[in-house]
Structure 1
Amino acid sequence: MTLQQALQARVDGEVRFDQGSLAAYSHDSSNYRQTPVGVVVPRSVEAGAETVRVCREHDVPVLSRGGGTSLAGQCVNHGVVIDWSKYCHRLLEVDGDTVIVEPGACLDDLNAELADRKLMVGPRPSTHDTCTIGGMIGNNSCGASAQAYGKMVDSVLRLEVLTYDGERFWAGPTSDEEFEQILAAGGRRAEIYRALGDLRDDGLALIRTRYPDIPRRVSGYNLDQLLPENGFNVARALVGSESTLVTVLRAEIKLFRVPPHQSLAVLGYDDIATAGDMVPTVAEHRPLALEGLDHELIDLARVEQVAGPAVLDKLPDGSGWLMVRFGGDSKEEADRRAQHLVDAVRENDDHPVHTAYLDDPSVEEEVWRVREAGLGATAYPPDNPDTHEGWEDAAVPPERLGDYLRDFRSLLHEFGYEHCSLYGHFGQGCVHTRIPFDLEDPKGVETYRRFVERAARLVASYGGSLSGEHGDGQSRGELLGLMFGDEIVDLFGRYKAIWDPAGRMNPGKVVDPYRLDENLDHLDYDPREPVTFFSFPDDGHRFTHAASRCVGIGQCRSSSGGVMCPSYRVTGEEEHSTRGRARILMEMMRGETITDGWRSTEVHDALDLCLACKGCKTDCPVNVDMATYKAEFLSHHYRWRPRPPQHYSMGWLPLWARLASVAPNAVNKVVNAPRLSRIVKAAGGVDERRDLPRFASQRLTDWFKERGEQGTGEQETGGQAKGDRVVLWPDSFTNNFHPEAGKAAVRLLEAHGYRVEMPPAALCCGLTWISTGQLNIAQRVLKRTVGALAPRLHADVPVVVLEPSCAAVFRSDAPDLLPDEPDVKRLADSTMSLSEALVDRVEVAPQTGTGVRALAQQHCHQHAIWGFDADRELLDKVGVELDLLDEGCCGLAGNFGFERGHFEVSTGAAALGLWPAVEKAGDDTRILADGFSCRTQIEAGTSAEPVHLAELLAELLL
């Protein structure tokens, strides 16, 4: 029986040996790529243990994986990857301030479960919304909160572990009496403990003298936890071992009280090194967190729009900043502690400081998010080379941080690595950066090796650690001798042999490591550049770069907040995350794991459940735009081939709607008749559980023609300009299905000084052809549209678009599809939403909407392209109390939710947040949704009657 057959027969889980899965799990967040033998997603801890047994019987390496966000290469290997994150995430027991939990539990989700008890896990990495407890244990995670709560090793009380050769037991601190009892019981566990005792005794002096005495020593195995003064703590000695020793099945960890109130002080200095000099002084005030960041990161945050000017302008003057967070039992106490710090540093004449004290929690969180977004914001700096990890988290004694920063900056300059942002957990001496290593060229890789060897020696000279947070993996395993000396490295080898004598646990990491310059994922990534429909301007007009844009942060795997990634939130599948799809596309372009290119079934299947919501275009820290990649892929996948029926039915919806307008009522009767409806749905690739939208009895454009121009175009109040022309775009959805929104928009625009016009002919933005990958047709449709609108565009007449997805086409997709058409750029610049057209013309009228509450579902494309600021301001002006939902995509997403095979994911996405939130809102709250898909999905799953912004405003203002 083969390995795959044995796993399928014996493991209660999902066993994947397909090309798509192997491609998705070939990468983590590091520079490295290793294709696994197979992937197992166990449905229980017992199934995970059985996976290890089967692998042992077939002599195949094993690697445990949680969020897959490791930056040193420890989460990729040529073995069987066990992904614990989908099913093994139960909170098993809470007892006082301790919890027992399975390894796949996501940190944010676990903390949410603990929120009612006002308890939390202490360490909080920047990937807190996606990292898992098992991964945090494997990596000895820290985060900014380690300033107050320590590293993961300080939180672990006990671990249930499984060795590769089958020994399973709970490990923790070991008293002399317990140690003797274990030895007396005999067996494999006794053998392990006896060998650990011998290793401890033999290396006692070395361990006590060669380990840096700093708060952020993450490199190397935690042999110091075996010392008598640390209670021979076997569990903590296993923390940070990166799946190279044992498989962690369950963990008991210590919890901490959630600080009831927090405040943030920001200190600005002339440069980042001077900020580093002040760390010991600031740390005396015992903050919860003490972070540093430089002007490079702030400049990138502005360009990348990580935060807006309203937030970044609140930072004090300077080029290097310390962000200092305090906690307190009351807001007054937290604020007082922050003020004491500000007062103290102002008295230091040697280090002049500018200060800002932020007492608005929302602003505090926005500023803090700039620091957490460091990795993503610095990955692709505009007009500069791409940056990489590889030397991104060294740590030195905090009291020597300033001098280290000066020396490190000099080293960067010596190697020509300019414009590198320096930031990190300065309170514990940990410095993060991304460096423009050239990892695509052998000579660049040689320079990379020389640099990290020099950097390692520099850190060692400061008594520091090669890793202060991200671990060793492959990036730093080879360099451990420079930090610890060869004798300690020999002890590491003995330690691994005790636990894993066969060397099958994540081989090549930490002990007997791969060279730091092999398995590099970009060195052998040199695919032929395809001719594409989209221009990919942010990727140097190269699809190959777009396909490799993902850096593996994994924010698309979060379970709440933002939009991305709705399909992952429903399925929990790596291949259904933005990251998984991006990795599969990269492997498709590489042509090794996935060998059939654009025709690949595996790639098609991975992209099939992408809703094309565009959430990743904004929510992804490096702006992976999977909706565009999917459309591009589909255009090639189906070239010269028959397409599925939904591409002809829903993809050509504007044409069918135009034909239906001849006799809409008759068409409605035919397509909704019980027997005929089933036939129509089957023929059109529509899920039989979906109700087909009903065509309006009269289209908006026909109503407008019959009505004629009735407004004078004169603004009667406010001194605004008179007679301003505006084109109201009759998108296919508003025009054919929901003209009431268009009629309301016409009246509103006329009442506020516009002379409303409509296009001279039946036109389309091409959205449905784009979403189905019929890009050659979309280009022709757009050219026709732009040609018809050209006279108005040249006259600077704005185009107001009511359907957000159509506005997104004009603003984003069209310029990428037709980059050489100047009128397309004019159309993008001329496109406005209704709120943008009205916000400066509507006067503040507090009485108008008093008592009106609205719950708004922001369309995903609006979220991705231009945001909700104008809508918020406009609704506030007219007195509407707004609650903007943050519950993710509605799940319908145009044609996606209607297509056969998508119903469960579509409704599952809505059921996660949108439907419950709408039902909870109550009858006295208006449900606002500009997207036709959003309104349709809300109506399908709730009793609410959602309206377009135009309809609500018309009720209030006309």
Structure 2
Amino acid sequence: MPEGRVTDLELAAPGVAGDRLVADLRARVDGDVRVDATARGAYSTDGSNYRQVPLAVVVPRSVDDGAEALAVCREHDVPVLSRGGGTSLGGQATNAAVVIDWTAHCHRLVSVDPQARTCVVEPGIVLDDLNAQLAAYGLQFGPRPATHSHCTLGGMIGNNSCGSTAQRYGKTVDNVRRLEIATYGGLRCWAGPTSDDELDRITAGAGEHAQLHRGLRHLRDTYAERVRDRYPAIPRRVSGYNLDALLPEQGFDLARLLVGSEGTLATVLHAELDLVPTLPCTSMLVLGFDDIIAAADAVPAVLDGCPDTPLQVEALDHRLVEIMEHLGSHLDSIRSLPEGRAWLMVEFGAGTADECDAHARALLDALGRGPDDGDVALTDDPAREARMMAAREAGLGVTARAPLMHDTWEGWEDSAVPPQRLGDYLRALRALFAEFGLGQPSLYGHFGHGCVHTRIPFRLERAGGVADFRRFLERAADLVVSFGGSLSGEHGDGQARGELLERMFGPGLVTAFGELKALFDPGNRMNPGKVAAPYRVDENLRLGAGWRPTPYATGFGYPDDGGSFTSAVLRCVGVGACRRSSPQGGVMCPSYQVTRAEEHSTRGRARLLFEMLQGHADSTVTDGFRSGAVHDALDLCLACKGCKSDCPVGVDMATYKAEFLSQHYRHRVRPAAHYSMGWLPVWARLARLAPRVADAALHAPVLAGIGKRLAGIAPERVAPHFAGQTLQEWWATRDRPAADPDDPRTVVLWPDTFTNHVDPHVGRAAVEVLEAAGFTVHVPAGPLCCGLTWISTGQLGVAKRVLRRTVAALRPWIEAGTLVVGLEPSCTAVFRSDAPELLPGDTDVARLAGRFATLAEALVAHAPHDWTPPRLDRSAIVQTHCHQHAVTGSEPDTELMRRAGIDAERLDSGCCGLAGNFGFEAGHYAVSMACAEQALLPAVRDADPETLVLADGFSCRTQIAHGVPGRRAIHLAEALRAPGRADLSSTATTDPTKE
């Protein structure tokens, strides 16, 4: 059977052939209809503990096409799951159903009414994208979950999302005016508040619309008093259906009833939303406490002491800060915290900075504290506020891999109680942790609303651990109810809490939930098994006692994952930060930003690697490292390493891709590009035998075209010119004293392949700068390489041999502790990151990693104190290489440019799109250039001709040259070499390689 074909049995559609369903979907729906292993594996789970393989995936090109897909599924009687960003923590976004993914195309802001402060949106629009478009009107959507960069409005409506700003603006349900819905039965209508007269008119009619409203009115009349009695009057009751929206005092609001129903009642096609004005000024007050319980105890006083409703009252504890320190994550954020071992972060918003500060100072007065106290920090700097909040928003990700603990999991991650009882609830919850031997998980969250976030080290891979997981959830549910709280204060019920709802609402209201479900979906086809008639909390687990992954011998050592590739793959917990629609704010995941396809996100690729482990009987990938599905998903991974730093749990897909390619092509013929680009260092050295002939062959029109086809190179690409003289050859001609490894002023300048053979002028400039700074420079001779091109093409055996040969050649310098300076960021990243992971037991590799520095690091941290760089007094735009962003950081470069008088604008442009061999390989050109066109190339085109274009990466400079002919990007070494030189001009026509 062809891979990915869905059989009749797999579709489990009674009396209907699976092939006919797929054929009808493809005939009637404009969009992608996929039943292949890649799609089904990528959508098999969400951000929860649960996994269910979908029957098919439909990506409609319009809202009408999505509605048509639902109609086809109805005709074939198969279940349907509407999916947004897929970050649900309760299992709402995974099911054995036809998944309709609205995010790729159905993401329009349809209309805005600035006077009424409303807008209409499609379900796939991302919150940050919506607010960016609303900014021109001075408006925004109020609730702001931590996933605001990638969560969709459809998903927020499905889960009744809240976020930190719900403190002021309420939950999603409080900000939805009307919904256009489609039911499984075929009804398509707008839903919202209904007056008594209108309700009488509707129920007097015929058809599904009237029948539905008659049933809803009967449900309201039957259960109204129980709803009033059992629904907790707290700000964060998200569990259960919103039956309270049907009460007369709530206006019989069908839209609010459907918010939080998790796609189990109807599908949202459009939403009319209430908006709030953007606030021109904010201020952040951070209060330190001895521990997180003391912070919780202080919440009532904080709320009473606020003269105006704050935007947010957030909390984080010392455990979360310790984890971030261990991971080296958000260090700027946590260093700005005041004294304490727990913190409340209170943000105020107003029309002026003075008003904001006045609110904060009034609160301090009420608490008997002052702005100069050691346990108080007050700022109205938006950048600092954003850094502080970034640490809090990263909580879910960083606590997933807490040091000195087993992996942590959701399941009880967002319970909520009345804020006045929060401290006592946390004491009882900690006692429950201790009873179950769960240690002290981090506690943080939206304390102003009594909502607590945590991840718990359940042992979900063991039968005993799964049993304990179930017992803990039952006990925790009873505990939170005893405090008048809600099982869920933000993330909804799904499968994680659906079975526990009777403990919160009682059997009568759970019966009402079933009756409501039957009114909308009598056949139980809309996201079945969630909220109503739910699966057990210990069913469909992503791990579970029956999970038996295939062990693999690997090329990388995975030292941060216990030496286990399986453990490395499990890093992905589905947060979805890789699904940002633009590069602003980071690097990952450039191919997803272009294609908007789930399997091209870091998360989607990690999901397929998880399926490849074959831990379940129904794994979608059954051929391990030979899988074509996994290969295709990884093919558009740029190996930019952006996820290594940007992913909250540190997924390193570049490493996983290299591992996969190594195993996939073991004892097999590789693609031509692996032999051409992968062995580039060898071809560059061979070209030295006849450099002019080699260079002419690479650029002769006919010959070059034939060569590119044979080498697997994109025909649109122009090969780089080999230099007439390499850096090493130039160095050998210099009259210089021999460098002494024991001299602390000595540095080794690393002659990477690109600098040595293509851009030796960069190396010569670096020599001049280093010597001017007081260093004695040594450039090693011989065929040296970091092995990068072999790593990126998965030729790990060769890479290890190359690295061992390099380490042997550098051993005298390694033993002396000499600083080695790298000019090419990707090669520097190899020595700092990849090499120790490839050769984890090699002490010389570890020593070299600790002494391998960028040019800026060498000049800022190791140059004599009396050295100052030459002044340029020039403006510049700076493209940070993605490997530098991910591994070495750019702070030293920023400081060096400041000292040199460079007014630098660091572009928020993500990866340049070339990414080493990726953009040169045949079939990648369109994606490569689309990545560059998102931000980098437009910024270069718009830059003033006198503005320097700085890019240390060879790939970045090459991409700029290809995309903006006539503009030349230069290395920082060139800028510092000699201010005022003509060749600094970004429009210089001279070829530096001919110097």
TM-score (ref. length: structure 2) = 0.94
CA contact (8 A) 1:711 1:751 kept: no
1:749 Cα deviation (Å)?
1.1
| Corresponding residue of 2:257 | 237
CA distance in 2, matches of 1:670, 1:860: 31
CA distance in 2, matches of 1:461, 1:382: 33
| Corresponding residue of 1:23 | 41
CA distance in 2, matches of 1:543, 1:493: 43
1:842 Cα deviation (Å)?
6.9
Q: What CA RMSD, in Å, does the superposition of the two structures yield over aligned residues?
A: 1.7
CA deviation string 1:711-755 (max 9, x = no partner)? 9999xxxxxx97722111110000111011000011111112222
Match of 1:568 among 589, 592, 613: 592
Match of 2:680 among 633, 653, 675: 653
| Structure 1 position 620 matched with structure 2 position 643 | no
| Structure 1 position 373 matched with structure 2 position 361 | no
Match of 1:839 among 847, 860, 865: 860
| Corresponding residue of 1:435 | 456
CA contact (8 A) 1:848 1:878 kept: yes
1:353 Cα deviation (Å)?
9.2
| Corresponding residue of 2:67 | 49
CA deviation string 1:209-267 (max 9, x = no partner)? 11000000000000000000011000100000000000100000000111111110011
Structure 1 SS opposite 2:632: helix
CA distance in 2, matches of 1:880, 1:910: 24
CA distance in 2, matches of 1:850, 1:735: 26
Match of 1:341 among 363, 378, 381: 363
CA distance in 2, matches of 1:502, 1:354: 58
Unaligned runs of 5+ in 1: 715-720
| Corresponding residue of 1:718 | none
1:419 Cα deviation (Å)?
2.7
Q: Which structure 2 residues correspond to residues 365-764 of structure 1 after superposition, within 5 A?
A: 365-523=386-544, 524-559=546-581, 560-590=584-614, 592-709=619-736, 724-764=745-785
CA distance in 1, matches of 2:40, 2:827: 37
| Structure 1 position 300 matched with structure 2 position 323 | yes
CA distance in 1, matches of 2:152, 2:374: 39
| Structure 1 position 314 matched with structure 2 position 336 | yes
Higher deviation after alignment, 867-876 or 297-306: 297-306
Higher deviation after alignment, 61-70 or 182-191: 182-191
Q: Which amino acid aligns with 1:863?
A: H
Q: Which amino acid aligns with 2:473?
A: V
| Corresponding residue of 2:16 | none
Q: Which amino acid aligns with 2:569?
A: A
CA contact (8 A) 2:166 2:312 kept: yes
| Corresponding residue of 1:922 | 944
Match of 2:214 among 184, 187, 194: 194
| Corresponding residue of 1:954 | 977
| Corresponding residue of 1:933 | 955
CA distance in 2, matches of 1:406, 1:367: 26
Q: Which structure 2 residues correspond to residues 151-170 of structure 1 after superposition, within 5 A?
A: 151-170=171-190
CA distance in 2, matches of 1:222, 1:167: 21
1:508 Cα deviation (Å)?
0.3
Q: Which amino acid aligns with 2:915?
A: A
CA contact (8 A) 2:641 2:886 kept: yes
Structure 1 SS opposite 2:38: helix
Structure 2 SS opposite 1:475: helix
1:899 Cα deviation (Å)?
0.3
CA contact (8 A) 1:7 1:15 kept: yes
In the alignment of these two chains, the number of paired residues is 948
CA contact (8 A) 2:774 2:864 kept: no
CA contact (8 A) 2:410 2:455 kept: yes
| Corresponding residue of 2:106 | 88
CA contact (8 A) 1:713 1:750 kept: no
Structure 2 SS opposite 1:476: helix
| Corresponding residue of 1:717 | none
1:276 Cα deviation (Å)?
1.1
| Corresponding residue of 2:165 | 145
| Corresponding residue of 1:183 | 203
TM-score (ref. length: structure 1) = 0.97
Q: Show structure 1 runs of 4+ deviating over 4 A.
A: 710-714, 842-848
CA contact (8 A) 1:844 1:878 kept: no
CA distance in 1, matches of 2:460, 2:758: 53
Q: Which amino acid aligns with 1:297?
A: L
CA distance in 1, matches of 2:735, 2:569: 50
CA distance in 1, matches of 2:118, 2:810: 66
Q: Which structure 2 residues correspond to residues 351-370 of structure 1 after superposition, within 5 A?
A: 354-370=375-391
CA deviation string 1:625-650 (max 9, x = no partner)? 00000000000100110000000000
1:668 Cα deviation (Å)?
1.5
Q: Which amino acid aligns with 1:633?
A: F
CA distance in 1, matches of 2:335, 2:710: 57
CA distance in 2, matches of 1:390, 1:723: 55
Unaligned runs of 5+ in 2: 1-18, 982-995
Match of 2:824 among 803, 825, 831: 803
Match of 2:147 among 127, 150, 160: 127
CA contact (8 A) 1:267 1:353 kept: no
CA contact (8 A) 1:839 1:874 kept: yes
1:313 Cα deviation (Å)?
3.0
CA contact (8 A) 2:823 2:952 kept: yes
CA distance in 2, matches of 1:8, 1:369: 43
Structure 1 SS opposite 2:978: helix
> CA 1:850 to 1:645, structure 2 compared with 1: closer, same or farther past 3 Å?
closer
1:882 Cα deviation (Å)?
1.1
| Corresponding residue of 1:268 | 288
| Structure 1 position 4 matched with structure 2 position 9 | no
CA contact (8 A) 1:3 1:58 kept: yes
CA deviation string 1:307-339 (max 9, x = no partner)? 22x542332222221100001111121122112
1:849 Cα deviation (Å)?
3.0
CA distance in 2, matches of 1:49, 1:573: 20
| Corresponding residue of 2:893 | 871
CA deviation string 1:868-893 (max 9, x = no partner)? 01111111111111111111000000
CA distance in 2, matches of 1:651, 1:326: 54
| Corresponding residue of 2:9 | none
1:354 Cα deviation (Å)?
2.7
Q: Which amino acid aligns with 2:702?
A: R
CA distance in 1, matches of 2:726, 2:389: 49
> CA 1:844 to 1:565, structure 2 compared with 1: closer, same or farther past 3 Å?
farther
> CA 1:844 to 1:490, structure 2 compared with 1: closer, same or farther past 3 Å?
farther
Higher deviation after alignment, 313-322 or 324-333: 313-322
1:845 Cα deviation (Å)?
8.9
| Structure 1 position 905 matched with structure 2 position 905 | no
Higher deviation after alignment, 353-362 or 816-825: 353-362
| Corresponding residue of 2:908 | 886
CA distance in 2, matches of 1:294, 1:312: 11
CA distance in 1, matches of 2:978, 2:879: 19
1:52 Cα deviation (Å)?
0.4
1:851 Cα deviation (Å)?
3.2
1:365 Cα deviation (Å)?
1.4
